[in-house]
Structure 1
Amino acid sequence: MASCPIFVINLEHDVVRRAHMASQCARLGLAVEFVPAVNGRQLSDTDRAAYDRDKTLRVYGVEMLDTEIGCYLSHYRLYQRMVREDIPVALILEDDVELSPAFPRIVQDLLADPQPEWQVVRLESLRRRVREPKNAKFLGRPVKALRDGELYRLGTHVLGFGAYLIRQDAARRMLDYGRHIFMPVDQTMDRYWENDILPYLVRPIPVHQRGDLASRIGARPPGRHKGQPWALRLRQRWQRLSDSIAKRLYPF
């Protein structure tokens, strides 16, 4: 796959997931580099320094888990590497996904476009309304035919970061916009009305989460909003209203 390194984010001790990804990537003829993930259960003070608790509570609505911060940093450091090593485009995979047989051809077709309009193409989505669209908003607008599907531009957020292509200009945008951590990395990128990274997705969606591999993020304790002061709740409501208006006014 010319001019496109493939990075697989994997906790070094997680040999089962590593073997899973190594096996399917080899079967599909993909040469990948395994990149050590940031272990959210062993965050350093430096790791935590970028976490903006006040903004997190206002925008995300609840404290982030340490594992969410670790996941964020794992992707963010790849963006730093893309800029540092002058990598024009990269394919980034998490280690709990299943790749369709058509996956290599889809990536080849996307990379073959000499003047792509996209900065990031998501190849997986965790959002059910995007996976099973019932109207044009969630289906998106087709922009390019591929041998095994079609590239769509969406008018809504995608959710999910299991597999995506990212160009260096988008990596630079994320380094700037996302330098303060305030929500999970996929949701940070989904805020297109602020970061100007428009959402693109391939259909049929070629990558899916493995249901038999437990999430390394972990479950959030119940009652996450319980006991929050009214002043914070008012700020959260104002933030949601502001985001809603900004999304509607964004010039797609």
Structure 2
Amino acid sequence: MKVFIINLEKYAARKNHALNQCQNIGLQAEVFNAIDGRLLSPQDIKAQTHPELSAGLTESEIGCALSHQGVYQKMLSENIDVALVLEDDVQFDDNSCDIISYLVANIPKHPTLYLLSDVRKYLRGGKKISASEHKLVTVSQAALAHAYIINLSAAKKLYDFMNPVWLEADRWTYLIECGVVDIKAVVPAVGHLSELSHESTIWHCEAELERKKVIRELRKVTVNKIRKKRPLLIKVKNSMWRIFMRPFFEIKRD
């Protein structure tokens, strides 16, 4: 397994924090230099994003998506079977390495992604993780991309599906609805957000914070458009799920 820490080169303290987190649980990590979307030219952004469906994404969110896609590309070019992908604000539990080792040893060949972070909703039951109080559950709603395990076939699926950029890197719920990859999560979570997560690298200045509400409204409109473009079969499948299955099997986190 390879471990990648996605980090903007100028944030050395965050890089060192993440490296220390990995070292503390016995993991050797490689820093993957993130793409700072704020430094991309309008021509670069145009060339690397969908002309319509990327509307409402900030330059930083585009850079974040490109960075995760860059990891997927590296996995494909170097034929890396499994990778642990981290952002530089991750915080691990003491037993995280045991859980990670179990997941890596037992990950299937079909496109699979394991979230180590908290998820919004998941299905009752799940598979107990050996010699621990944790279990592996099927996810129905989730966000955040600061800690996950991904296999090579899932990396290819996500890269093909999300390139050029039109979705946020962590729009897991939509990917679940579309059945792009099998997404499961560890409960209780073992990969948390540290205090560094409060220091946003996306809304990084007053000018961008003032734009936030307008940008978010535009993105909301675009996401609604994206959802309307889903194939009819996917719409029907998700409608049936919401009516007949979700009320009985889904657990919502407090």
TM norm structure 1: 0.79
Q: Is the CA contact (8 Å cut-off) linking 1:152 and 1:203 kept in structure 2?
A: yes
| 1:1-252 mapped onto 2 (5 Å cutoff) | 4-44=1-41, 45-57=43-55, 63-113=56-106, 115=108, 119-125=112-118, 127=119, 129-130=120-121, 138-148=122-132, 149-154=134-139, 156-187=140-171, 190-213=174-197, 214-218=199-203, 219=209, 221-224=212-215, 235=225, 238=228, 245-249=236-240
The CA distance in 1 between the partners of 2:110 and 2:218, in whole Å, is 45
Shift of 1:227: 8.8
Shift of 1:77: 0.8
SS of the residue corresponding to residue 202 of structure 1 reads: strand
Q: Is the CA contact (8 Å cut-off) linking 1:109 and 1:147 kept in structure 2?
A: no
SS of the residue corresponding to residue 180 of structure 1 reads: coil
Amino acid at match of 2:28: A
- Unpaired segments of 5 or more residues in structure 2? 204-208, 246-254
The CA distance in 2 between the partners of 1:93 and 1:226, in whole Å, is 29
The CA distance in 2 between the partners of 1:222 and 1:114, in whole Å, is 40
Give the number of aligned pairs: 231
1:60 equivalent in structure 2: none
1:133 equivalent in structure 2: none
The CA distance in 1 between the partners of 2:32 and 2:175, in whole Å, is 26
SS of the residue corresponding to residue 163 of structure 2 reads: coil
The CA distance in 2 between the partners of 1:233 and 1:200, in whole Å, is 23
- Unpaired segments of 5 or more residues in structure 1? 58-62, 131-137
Change (3 A) 1:13 1:114: closer
Q: Is the CA contact (8 Å cut-off) linking 2:4 and 2:31 kept in structure 1?
A: yes
Structure (1/2) with the larger helix percentage: 2
SS of the residue corresponding to residue 54 of structure 1 reads: coil
Shift of 1:118: 6.4
The CA distance in 2 between the partners of 1:245 and 1:111, in whole Å, is 34
Q: Is the CA contact (8 Å cut-off) linking 2:111 and 2:154 kept in structure 1?
A: no
Change (3 A) 1:123 1:237: closer
Amino acid at match of 1:34: V
2:250 equivalent in structure 1: none
Q: Is the CA contact (8 Å cut-off) linking 2:115 and 2:147 kept in structure 1?
A: yes
The CA distance in 2 between the partners of 1:171 and 1:93, in whole Å, is 14
TM norm structure 2: 0.79
Q: What whole-Å deviation, never above 9, does each CA across 1:30-50 have from its counterpart, x for those lacking one? A: 100011010121114335412
Q: Which moved more, 1:213-222 or 1:111-120?
A: 111-120
Q: Is the CA contact (8 Å cut-off) linking 2:126 and 2:138 kept in structure 1?
A: yes
